[in-house]
Amino acid sequence: MTAKQFMPAEIEDAQAMSASEAIEYHYDNDTRFFSLWLDPTLSYSSARWRDPLAIENAEPDLTAAQLNKLTFHLDAARIPKGGSLLDIGCGWGAILKAAVTERGAARALGLTLSRDQLDHITAGGWPGAEAKLQDVYEFDTDERFDAAISIGAFEHFARPEMDRPEKLQRYRAFFDKLHTLTTPGARFSLQTIVWDALTFDEAKKWIPQTVFPQSDIPFIEEVIEGANGAFRVIYLENDPTQYADTLDAWVKTLKTHKATILAEWGEEKYTFFERYLRNSKLAFQRRKNSLARFVMVRR
């Protein structure tokens, strides 16, 4: 099957957006724009609407589902009282803030590639929380962390041109780095979008149609193989409805702020984000993508 055959019509439209424009839209956007349509914690990743094993326990709205997601990861990470947490791809710092203000962490360090996010965290002034503008692959320190969390960053680690051995090597390098940065027995709670009902070759053809054409996302088995030897996987959930519902909530809120966004940021930006959120939702509904949460223990 070719990429075109399984491509929804709306995704064909989104191809008009070039790779560099897509990057620009995502990394040079200001915090105020995102605060219009994200939840109050500014979580820019899938919420946790339900426990996939429970029959009836859906969260009532995005705000509750995002808080439930933060609780899931902080519980899973088990930061010891007075201990330290590393958050790889910390966004606007919701995990860092909760770790030091609610979970007894003495220190929470976040890594991000976004200056807007760094400035937001610095302005927050949460005692013990700090962010660095730093690529995790280049991060070097003598510090050893008692726990680690990464939500929505793993999707950016591999490049589209990588074949499977290169992709696995890239993921292994990440887990080896994290092994060095953490103490024995440290928990790592990882959330990432994964490819689902596609073969490796089909996924490669799908990448140009996604919103980050400069990165490739993992298959579940690639994450497990990458972690093998450095971390032991003790829990996994795999549920595309979690992200489909999050994207649905985001697009609804974005639409309610259409007039403001058009006036302040212009039509091109509004159209890009509306299409991107809608198309991404379709990819989860059609199971091209799924949302995986892994809990691991450092060997």
Interface with ligand SAM by CB under 6 A: which residues?
Answer: 43-45, 88-91, 111-114, 117, 135-137, 151-153, 156
Bridge partner list, 111: 88, 132
* Of residues 243 and 270, the one with the C-beta less far from ligand SAM: 243
Residue pair 102/77 in contact (Cβ under 8 Å)? The answer is no
Give the other-Cβ count within 10 Å of 200's Cβ: 13
H helices of 92-211, in order, are 94-101, 115-124, 164-181, 200-206
Greatest alpha-carbon span in the chain = 54
Looking at 139-288, which runs of residues are DSSP E strands? 145-151, 182-195, 231-238
* Of residues 7 and 41, the one with the C-beta less far from ligand SAM: 41
CB of 62 to ligand SAM, least distance (A): 13
CB of 111 to ligand SAM, least distance (A): 4
* Of residues 11 and 121, the one with the C-beta less far from ligand SAM: 121
* Of residues 87 and 196, the one with the C-beta less far from ligand SAM: 87
CB of 119 to ligand SAM, least distance (A): 13
Residue pair 299/179 in contact (Cβ under 8 Å)? The answer is yes
C-alpha span between 177 and 292 (Å, rounded): 21
- The residue type at 31: T
CB of 138 to ligand SAM, least distance (A): 8
Which residue carries 């003495």 as its tokens? 106
* Of residues 215 and 238, the one with the C-beta less far from ligand SAM: 215
C-alpha span between 52 and 56 (Å, rounded): 10
Virtual torsion, Cα 65, 241, 207, 14, nearest 10 deg: -80
CB of 2 to ligand SAM, least distance (A): 29
CB of 1 to ligand SAM, least distance (A): 29
* Of residues 7 and 47, the one with the C-beta less far from ligand SAM: 47
